[in-house]
Amino acid sequence: MKLAEVVNQLKLEEIIESVDLDREVTGGYCSDLLSNVMGQAKSGELWITLQTHQNIVAVASLVELSGIIIACGAELDTETIAKAKKEDIPLFTTDLSIYEVAGRLYKLGV
């Protein structure tokens, strides 16, 4: 499924509008532990987290994730947004819980 479809279906708020939403989403990964994501997440997956600091962008870039969803309405700081824009990492926010986002992704067949 394309990232644009996921964004539309889940009604995610797009933080950086210039990123490529034509990326393929191959799965989802939920974790707030950066080392866990680095070791277990797979390229193309969409990461669901509560973390908002700029290190999430470095991890997403390293693993080649399709994007990051910040759940529970957590707010991103300007440094994280700037780093994501520089690294071309799609960032999204939602008021949904991590559990709800993961369930909806699963229901979509992601």
Distance CA 99, CA 53 (A): 21
Per-residue pLDDT, 20: 84
- Examine the pLDDT at 91 and tell me if it is beyond 80: yes
Domains in the chain, CATH or no CATH each: 3-107 (3.40.1390.20)
pTM for the complete prediction?
0.95
Per-residue pLDDT, 16: 87
Strand ranges across the sheet with 67-70: 13-14, 91-93, 67-70, 45-49, 27-30
Per-residue pLDDT, 18: 73
* DSSP 3-state of 85: helix
Averaged over 4-31, what is the pLDDT?
93
